[in-house]
């Protein structure tokens, strides 16, 4: 992963990397350090009285069965969102990669939702799915389906998974399409000659070549599901009914921004930060390995 050819000089590259480094230190490292410090304190929201409590906030977190439930729920949620959005995207990408009429048009129609703001998407889902005022929600109830995600935990989970996955399908689609296009046509042709058919050909020839993309997207989708779905969940279910759709990020936002629990929410941020670093390391290792090849 190292380049053999390099340019000489020391001052110039430092000058080049300085702006990025400066921003990183000021806007990432320093706040992250603050978060770590706060996670070991108990403070009022205004920061007037701060006392050092060591690991107490972490102890509280990990002895709280509700927090442990939340971790499990988040894993289920992230896995479902990633599986659903990647599955749908892969299916669409495989179809759009075929030699069919109107494929350019199809592609455009499948890529644009990438640009929809989460705040807008949230409003959309309420107008569609709300059991009483949503278009689809009302239709379901009218046709005898007891649709009520405000009081049905399973439906609530399905709603937030569906809404979150929807937003991510385009992104995955773009990457899968790019990945499929880089599969050499000769390989597929060769497989066809060998008599490999449809699904079998896809599974044994195309999918292995697509695995780098799949791994990359798994990480991206997990990070997306873990962090960027707060707005969607908050707008649709606010984590309810009960705690059935409260993921870790919903909890950290609630505790930090609504409940104003500085120490507790910082401890949760630190836990999340470690999660992200691990995911990042995973992604980095994987990307690094790939460029070795």
Partner 1 sequence: MRNRVDWPAHVVLVLGVALFVLPLWLVFAGSTQDPAAIARGELSLIPRLEGFGVFASILRDGSPGTGPVWRMLLVSGAMAVSIAFGKIVISILSAYAVTFFRFPFRKAAFWTIFITLMLPIEVRIVPTYEVMSDLHLINTFPGLTIPLIASATATLLFRQTFLVIPDELVEAARIDGAGPWRFLKDILIPVSSSNLAALFVILFVYGWNQYLWPLLVATTPQLDTIVIGIVKMIGTETQTEWNRVMATALLAMLPPVAVVILMQRWFVRGLTDGEK
Partner 2 sequence: MHRRTLLTGAAALASVPATSWAQPAKTKIVFWHAMTGANGDEINRIARDFNASQSSVELEAIFKGSYPETLTAAIAAWRAGQAPHIAQVYEVGTGSMLAAGPAVKQVWQLAQETGLKIDPATYLPAVRGYYSLADGHMASMPFNSSTGVMWYNKDAFETAGLDPEKPPVTWAEFAAAARALKEKWAVPTNAKAAGPEVMATTTSWFAWIQLEEFSAIHNLPFASKADGFEGLDTELKFNSAAHAKQLQMLLDLAKDGAFKYTGRDNTPDPVFYSGQAGIGFGSSAGRADIVRNAKFKWAAAMLPYDPAVSTQPNNTIIGGASLWTMTSKTRTPEEYKAVGQFLQFIAQPENDALYHQHTGYVPVTSGGFEASKKQGYYDKTPGADIAIQSLTRGTVTENSRGLRLGRLPEIRNIVYEEVEKALQGQQSAQTALDSAVQRGNRVLREFEKSVRT
Give least dist CB 237 to partner 2, A.
9
* Residue of 49, 63, 100, 186 that binds partner 1 (CB under 8 A): 100
Give least dist CB 120 to partner 2, A.
16
Q: Which one, 44 or 194, has the nearer CB to partner 2?
A: 44
Q: Is position 51 an interface residue for partner 2 (rule: CB under 8 A)?
A: yes
Is the separation of the CB atoms in 56 and 137 below 8 Å?
no
Tokens 């780098």: give the residue: 212
113's tokens: 């939702």
Q: Which residues of 173-203 are buried (b: 16+ CB within 10 A; e: fewer)?
A: bbbbbebbeebeeeebeebeeeebeeeebbe
Determine the size of the site formed for partner 1 (CB under 8 A). Answer: 93
The partner in contact with residue 260, picked from partner 2, partner 1, none with C-beta cut-offs of 5 to 8 angstroms by kind, is: partner 2
**Peptide bond connecting 31 to the previous residue in cis, omega within 30 degrees of 0:** no
DSSP tag of 261 = -
Q: Which residues, numbered 220-249, are part of the site for partner 2 (CB under 8 A)? A: 238-243
- Beta partners for residue 135, in sequence order: none
Q: Which residues, numbered 134-173, are part of the site for partner 1 (CB under 8 A)? A: 134-135, 138, 166, 169-170
Give least dist CB 54 to partner 1, A.
21
DSSP string, 110-136: HHGGGG--HHHHHHHHHHHH-TTT-HH
Instruction: Give the interface segment with partner 1, choosing from 59-67, 71-79, 152-160, 176-184 (CB under 8 A).
Output: 176-184
The partner in contact with residue 141, picked from partner 2, partner 1, none with C-beta cut-offs of 5 to 8 angstroms by kind, is: partner 2
Give least dist CB 127 to partner 2, A.
11
């Amino acid at each position: 992963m190292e380049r053999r050819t390099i340019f000489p000089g020391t001052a110039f590259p430092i000058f080049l990397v300085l702006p990025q480094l400066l921003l990183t230190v000021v806007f990432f490292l320093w706040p992250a350090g603050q978060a770590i410090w706060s996670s070991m304190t108990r403070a009022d929201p205004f920061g007037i009285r701060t006392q050092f409590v060591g690991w107490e906030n972490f102890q509280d977190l990990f002895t709280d069965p509700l927090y442990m439930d939340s971790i499990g729920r988040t894993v289920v949620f992230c896995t479902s969102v990633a599986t659903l959005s990647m599955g749908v995207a892969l299916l669409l990408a495989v179809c759009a990669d075929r030699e069919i009429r109107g494929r350019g048009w199809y592609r455009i129609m499948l890529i644009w939702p990438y640009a929809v703001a989460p705040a807008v998407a949230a409003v959309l889902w309420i107008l569609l799915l709300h059991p009483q005022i949503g278009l689809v929600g009302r239709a379901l109830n009218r046709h005898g389906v007891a649709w009520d995600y405000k009081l049905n935990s399973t439906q609530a989970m399905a709603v937030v998974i569906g809404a979150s996955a929807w937003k991510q399908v385009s992104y995955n689609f773009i990457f899968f399409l790019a990945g499929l296009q880089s599969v050499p046509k000769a390989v597929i042709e060769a497989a066809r000659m060998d008599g490999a058919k449809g699904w079998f050909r896809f599974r044994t020839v195309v999918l292995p070549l697509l695995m780098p993309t799949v791994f990359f997207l798994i990480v991206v989708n997990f990070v997306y599901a873990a962090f960027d779905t707060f707005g969607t969940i908050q707008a649709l279910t606010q984590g309810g009914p009960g705690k059935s759709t409260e993921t870790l990020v919903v909890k950290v936002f609630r505790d930090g921004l609504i409940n104003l629990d500085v120490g507790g929410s910082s401890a949760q941020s630190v836990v999340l930060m470690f999660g992200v670093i691990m995911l990042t390391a995973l992604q980095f290792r994987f990307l690094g390995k790939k460029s070795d090849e």
